[in-house]
Amino acid sequence: MRPLVATLVTAALLFLFFVPMLTDLVGRPSLLALACRILIYAMAAASLNFVLGYGGMISFGHAAFFGVGAYTVGILYAHFASGELLFGFIPGSNQMLITLPAAVLVSGVFAAAIGALSLRTGGVQFIMITLAFAQMLFFFFVALKAYGGEDGIIIRRTNELAGLNMRDRVTLYYVILGFAVLFFLGLWRMVNSSFGAVLRGIQQNERRMAALGFAPYRYKLYAFILSGMGAGFAGALMANFLRYASPDMMHWTKSGELMIMVILGGVGSFFGPIFGAAAFMILETFLAGWTEHWQLLLGAVLLVIVLATKGGINGLLARIFRRGA
């Protein structure tokens, strides 16, 4: 990591650490909830960016994995509360250290199945097939009356973690921040590993990579599964944060929102999805308070970012700092 980037990351981490104090200071505790949602969406968007930006796979169905992760937490909680076994042999749980890995595993399985089929196509077909699978899951959960159907599942209490008081919003913020830091550390290592380089190479030229002995399909599938797991992880945290999981989380518009975050922030950049998620959520919050037609304004902002900056917010910032430095 270059020194300037390292300094900025340290500064950002310090800022994130003090967010609860700052929101108290300005007397708007609702901003803390906004910060939680930004962190969670940043993870989901970064997962999408892993396949979209680094792997060149334009998945229009990533909300499906986000929703599957959330539902895993919700369904496990429902069985924990009722005491019945899921499928007759899986006990429910309200322990975060069980539900989060379970959510990652389940969304990984879904990503493996969906990816294995969708990756046989490419281009526009790939976009449409991932979209179709996501919508299938959406309607499946809408029809799943046992778990609330279109009303979704209420999770009465956030999962427990190491005896912490998770009802305290500040504690929950720090838990989410901690998971986000771990998530992005892992992602950093992955992007900069040889696997990450192979993935970026495949995006540039699949045949060239094949001629070097790497089967593009298999590596793209690995990336797709990892990406689905990341989105599922974010979804599981979101279910814990909202204490609620609903089919809306996997609606195609949510996939679109994740994509907008990635594009706003900068496709194929490491920090882009974080900027994109922050920009999107902040714009949504403030524009929606201003006018109910906030999406129109968001569209205008997106247009300006795409047309006027090379590489989204990340690209813009990189240029500003390079000029300053």
Partner 1 sequence: MLNVANLAAAYGASQVLFDVSLEIGEGEVVTLLGRNGMGKTTTVRTVMGLLAARGGTVTFGGRQVQGMAPERIARMGAGLVPEGRQVFPTLTVHENLFATAANRLKRDEPWTLQRVYDLFPRLGERAGQMAATLSGGEQQMLAVGRALMTNPGLLILDEATEGLAPVIRSEIWQVIERLKSQGQSILLIDKNLGVLKRLADQHYIIEKGRTVWQGTGADLDRDAARVQAYVGL
Of the listed pieces 131-139, 207-215, 226-234, 312-320, which binds partner 1 according to CB under 8 A?
A: 207-215
Site membership for partner 1, residue 204 (CB under 8 A): yes
Of 87, 46, 43, 24, the residue nearest 240 (C-alpha): 43
- Cα–Cα distance for residue pair 41/81, rounded to 1 Å: 28
Q: Is 131 left (phi over 0), alpha (psi -120 to 50) or beta?
A: alpha
- Closer to partner 1 by Cβ: residue 120 or 157: 120
- Closer to partner 1 by Cβ: residue 181 or 210: 210
Query: How are beta strands 153-154 and 244-245 bridged, if at all?
Result: antiparallel
Of the listed pieces 8-16, 29-37, 190-198, 301-309, which binds partner 1 according to CB under 8 A?
A: 190-198
- How many other C-beta atoms lie within 10 A of the C-beta of residue 298? 19
Residues contacting partner 1: total by CB under 8 A:
17
Least distance to partner 1 from the beta carbon of 215, Å?
A: 4
Task: Report whether 172 contacts 179 (CB < 8 A).
Answer: no
- Closer to partner 1 by Cβ: residue 2 or 156: 2
Q: Residues 3, 21, 26, 207: which binds partner 1 (CB under 8 A)?
A: 207
Q: What sections of 50-95 are H helices per DSSP?
A: 62-82
Task: Report whether 72 contacts 106 (CB < 8 A).
Answer: yes
Site membership for partner 1, residue 1 (CB under 8 A): no
* Encoded tokens for 8: 């900025």
- Cα–Cα distance for residue pair 228/56, rounded to 1 Å: 15
- Closer to partner 1 by Cβ: residue 123 or 213: 213
- Closer to partner 1 by Cβ: residue 14 or 212: 212
Task: Report whether 44 contacts 66 (CB < 8 A).
Answer: yes
Of the listed pieces 34-42, 140-148, 197-205, 278-286, which binds partner 1 according to CB under 8 A?
A: 197-205
Least distance to partner 1 from the beta carbon of 169, Å?
A: 42
Radius of gyration of the chain (CA): 20
Site membership for partner 1, residue 3 (CB under 8 A): no
Site membership for partner 1, residue 205 (CB under 8 A): yes
Show the site string, 208-247: x = touches partner 1 by CB under 8 A, - = not: xxxxxxxxx-------------------------------
Least distance to partner 1 from the beta carbon of 35, Å?
A: 33
- Cα–Cα distance for residue pair 272/62, rounded to 1 Å: 17
Site membership for partner 1, residue 201 (CB under 8 A): yes
- Which DSSP category does 158 fall into? P
Least distance to partner 1 from the beta carbon of 196, Å?
A: 8
- Closer to partner 1 by Cβ: residue 206 or 257: 206
Site membership for partner 1, residue 197 (CB under 8 A): yes
- In which residue are the tokens 């919700």 written? 74
Least distance to partner 1 from the beta carbon of 321, Å?
A: 18
Task: Report whether 124 contacts 51 (CB < 8 A).
Answer: no
Task: Report whether 196 contacts 54 (CB < 8 A).
Answer: yes
- In which residue are the tokens 């899921």 written? 86
Least distance to partner 1 from the beta carbon of 208, Å?
A: 5
Binding site for partner 1 (CB under 8 A): 194, 197-198, 200-201, 204-205, 207-216
